[in-house]
Amino acid sequence: MGQEASQKIKKEEPLSEDPALVNRVQRVGGRIAAQTDSEYEWEFNVVDKDVLNAFALPGGKVFVYRGLLEIMETDAQLATVIAHEIAHVIARHGAERMSIQLGTALVGQAAGIVLDMSDPTAARVFQQAYGIGAQLGVILPYSRTHEYEADHIGLILMAKAGYDPEAAVAFWERMMEENKDEKNPPAWLSTHPLSRERLREIKQEIPGIKRRYYQG
């Protein structure tokens, strides 16, 4: 299902052909993915839209929007985003959410739906689980618990890949600054708005993670 969704997105969304942007995302993403010990066939793409967004699909298909890349001051800040999305994949957060939706809204139909993405109901459930929007690309509407877990795993992955976890603080502070005057947050943050509590959690975790994992 993740592969099918990825192919659909590639047909509908403009993918960047800027070698500098694409190579940057693939280089940083590859370093982080190498730390996961997973068997996913990781793939990193750049969507050529001025949108503050990023997302990952089952099976390791990661997409980063050009608008988000343009506010990244360092590769370590980009690593914060990609590591967070990779963390959602390896923790199977999207699958958990989809299972909940199937269990609550589609009792009795689940088996057939899961096996057939061409089924309109299956497609709708998948889109809801992974936040696929027709106009805005993809959001990951995970719960607060999933977000904290992805933050934690992401910090570890970026540190093991040689990126300073301190960059996560700079990135999230930049995102807060970018959105301070916005009535509605961008797609990437709309379902889990950044809070000072979340940033505080990240700051508290960084010293221990740096001592244990970071060799930079």
* Bridge-based pairing state of the strands 61-65 and 43-47: parallel
190's tokens? 């709309």
Query: Residue 72 contacts by C-beta under 8 Å, 6 or more apart in sequence?
Result: 78, 81, 171
CB contact at 8 A, 59 and 92:
no
The neighbour count for residue 154, using CB atoms within 10 Å, is 25
Active site annotation includes 177? no
Closest CA to 97 of 133, 127, 117: 127
Q: Are 84 and 163 in contact (CB under 8 A)?
A: no
Distance between CA atoms of residues 96 and 91, nearest Å: 9
Catalytic residue among 4, 12, 70, 85: 85
Return the active site residues.
85
